[in-house]
Structure 1
Amino acid sequence: MDVLTQIRKPVEREMKDFESLFGITLQHQNPLLMIALRHVLSRKGKLMRPILTLLAAKKYGEINDSVLHAAVSLEMLHTASLVHDDVVDESGVRRGQSSVNALLDNKAAVLVGDYLLSTALKHAAMAGDLRVVDLVARLGQTLSDGELQQLSNVKSDEISENQYFNVIRRKTASLFAVCAEVGALLSGASEDEIRRLGEFGTYVGICFQIRDDVFDYYDAEVGKPTGNDMKEGKLTLPVVHAVLQPGAETWHETALKVRAGRATEEEISALVDFTKQSGGIEYARRKMDEFREQAIGLIGSDGNEAVGEALRLYLDFVLKRVS
């Protein structure tokens, strides 16, 4: 049994219900929209976020229709944000497949993203709890805030870990946090249990993004060729650590050029090599291990024991995933 199957085991039946509901939701009479929605459905990936929502719900209670609608809402919001991000980044590839804007065009992709966002809010309302609507709406604000923060950083001369973590907490970790919070909330968990699982989700999301950033230096299988982040002007944790070391002032200037979109291919390639040689990758992995230890402590021994073990496996899967 592979690790992902083990993780899903406590909620396998409910995940099938989720996938059925998610698939039905991605149906429409409009031919152009249907092309885009089928494309979105074909690249749904491992469904890590809805798995987290369902596990969080089952840790302290049962998974009902409200939880399923909330999970669909959050996955729709996540998908909408990716569609919009690809337009903003002018990216033609997402996880090794064509992005929606590459399949259609930017105008159509924005409208598809808007449709998915509206569908997300519809399913949040169908969860039957105004707290879910509030959490999903505020999450949408947070995701947009993170994207805007990343854009504003382009004009800054500052390069810092604090700046990096401020962005990924908004753009990535916030979604995992809300997935866990909503699942716990709808299962009747206490305020402290909801808080702990939300913090767990935050650490999972931070690790997820750092792991994604490390992929960019070695692995093209996830649809991100080596150095692609820098080509898009993104300075991730490995390079941030590398250029902040004593004696790296020249590389610091190169990193600013990268972020401003003024660096040549040769400069980007040289900065990638410098990052690797300066221990940037190893540092990022150490930071993931630190966040893992904090996350493990939040799972606790209370609630459903099988789900607690699945959450530990979930965390380790995020840290060790190869795609």
Structure 2
Amino acid sequence: MLSLNEIKKPIAAEIDVFEERFKASMQSSVPLLDRITHYIVKRKGKQIRPMFVFFAASLCGGITEATHRGAALVELLHTATLVHDDVVDNSYQRRGFFSINALWKNKIAVLVGDFLLAKGMDLSLANNDFQLLRIVNEAVKQMSEGELLQIEKVRRMDVGEPVYYEVIRQKTASLIASCCASGAASAGADENAVERMRLFGEKIGIAFQIKDDMFDFGTDDVGKPLGIDIKEKKITLPLIYALNNAKSAERKRIINLVKNHNDEAAKIAEIIAFVQSAGGLQYAESQMKKYQDEAFEILNTFTAGEARTGLEQLVRYTTERNK
């Protein structure tokens, strides 16, 4: 599989410009805010989301100034949601670094998230990018709804496949969908092309999350500790499949383990073994591939070329990764 740097080559210069502009978009006259946003920029992730924006724009007419603003908007709002998520989840680490709330406490983290949301809206409003703002605002709304839906269902341990797909469509896929739609819209694409790119991104987001959920039940070389979702009582696709195919007594026993023994290493190992032996991982893999194939069908309705190849490679990277 190609590395992210190899995939990025056709848009590498645009990403470099984006990084500088993204940094500038977070500037503030408040010294504390500047220190925190500098820390955020320093620990940036793989930038897969801006890559989706730039490749989508390139495919749908060409990268413009609006594309750069769209990428910055997506990244500002995404970063804001991550800062807020760490507060909600009581998480003190992200990507191997201390989270904002770990270093500056919850009150400051919430205010920083609010500031980033406002900066994203400010960037769009100052340039009359109303279509981009509508696209990304819809994603942020859905991410909040998806998180709350998951919290509600986890409390009741009431999660079947339809609820699982609705949660991940809102929580994860809506943001990837907004990246692709924003890229297309920034290039001046018509409504039909923008919607096709949005749907393409949504299917990729679903495939991406299924892959991520599989890591919880995988082997030790996947790059993520096992059982994290179990500890948080999250019912994901591999476990849903295994429970749906278990006898009533076994199903009740496993649900009891998830509800009441989710902090015991031996019990977590038992749940993982149950999922593996029931074929939960194979089923999840087949569903992930189904969404990936549907995404490629949509992608192939666009003109072949460097941008389409770049998106295809980026999709394979996100769904065939091992961490």
Alignment partner, residue 59 of structure 2:
59
Q: 1:209-231: CA deviations, max 9, x gaps?
A: 11211223347788842111111
Determine whether 1:200 maps to 2:200: yes
Determine whether 1:151 maps to 2:151: yes
**2:2, 2:317 within 8 Å by CA — same for their partners in 1?**
no
Mark the CA change 1:67 to 1:126 in structure 2 (over 3 Å): closer, same or farther. farther
Alignment partner, residue 30 of structure 1:
30
Determine whether 1:131 maps to 2:131: yes
Mark the CA change 1:13 to 1:158 in structure 2 (over 3 Å): closer, same or farther. same
Mark the CA change 1:173 to 1:133 in structure 2 (over 3 Å): closer, same or farther. same
Q: 1:105-128: CA deviations, max 9, x gaps?
A: 122211111111112212232453
Alignment partner, residue 70 of structure 1:
70
Q: 1:148-179: CA deviations, max 9, x gaps?
A: 11111123352311111110000000001111
* TM-score of the two chains, using structure 1 as the length reference: 0.91
Give the counterpart letter for 1:40 in structure 2: I
SS in 2 for 1:91: coil
Determine whether 1:110 maps to 2:110: yes
Determine whether 1:79 maps to 2:60: no
Listed as ranges, the matches of 1:1-323 within 5 Å are 2-218=2-218, 224-247=224-247, 249-252=249-252, 254-255=254-255, 258=258, 263-265=262-264, 266-300=266-300, 302-303=302-303, 305-323=305-323
Residue 98 (structure 1) shift: 2.1
Residue 252 (structure 1) shift: 4.5
Give the counterpart letter for 1:308 in structure 2: R
Query: Counterparts of 2:206 and 2:278 in 1: how far apart (Å)?
Result: 22
User: Aligned pairs, how many?
Assistant: 322
* TM-score of the two chains, using structure 2 as the length reference: 0.91
Alignment gaps of 5+ in structure 2 = none
Residue 4 (structure 1) shift: 1.7
Give the counterpart letter for 1:283 in structure 2: Y
Give the counterpart letter for 1:92 in structure 2: Y
**1:70, 1:123 within 8 Å by CA — same for their partners in 2?**
no
**2:18, 2:68 within 8 Å by CA — same for their partners in 1?**
yes
Give the counterpart letter for 1:45 in structure 2: G
Mark the CA change 1:215 to 1:264 in structure 2 (over 3 Å): closer, same or farther. closer
Give the counterpart letter for 1:121 in structure 2: M
Query: Counterparts of 2:30 and 2:256 in 1: how far apart (Å)?
Result: 45
Query: Counterparts of 1:234 and 1:46 in 2: how far apart (Å)?
Result: 25
Mark the CA change 1:41 to 1:249 in structure 2 (over 3 Å): closer, same or farther. farther
Give the counterpart letter for 1:134 in structure 2: R
Residue 50 (structure 1) shift: 0.7
Alignment gaps of 5+ in structure 1 = none
Residue 262 (structure 1) shift: 6.2
Mark the CA change 1:28 to 1:223 in structure 2 (over 3 Å): closer, same or farther. farther
Give the counterpart letter for 2:146 in structure 1: G
Residue 137 (structure 1) shift: 2.0
Give the counterpart letter for 1:144 in structure 2: S
Moved more, 149-158 or 216-225: 216-225
Residue 67 (structure 1) shift: 1.1
Mark the CA change 1:73 to 1:42 in structure 2 (over 3 Å): closer, same or farther. same
Residue 190 (structure 1) shift: 2.0
Residue 272 (structure 1) shift: 2.0
**2:257, 2:271 within 8 Å by CA — same for their partners in 1?**
no
Query: Counterparts of 1:149 and 1:211 in 2: how far apart (Å)?
Result: 21
Query: Counterparts of 1:305 and 1:223 in 2: how far apart (Å)?
Result: 33
Identity of aligned residues (%): 36
Query: Counterparts of 2:260 and 2:50 in 1: how far apart (Å)?
Result: 35
Cα RMSD (Å): 2.3
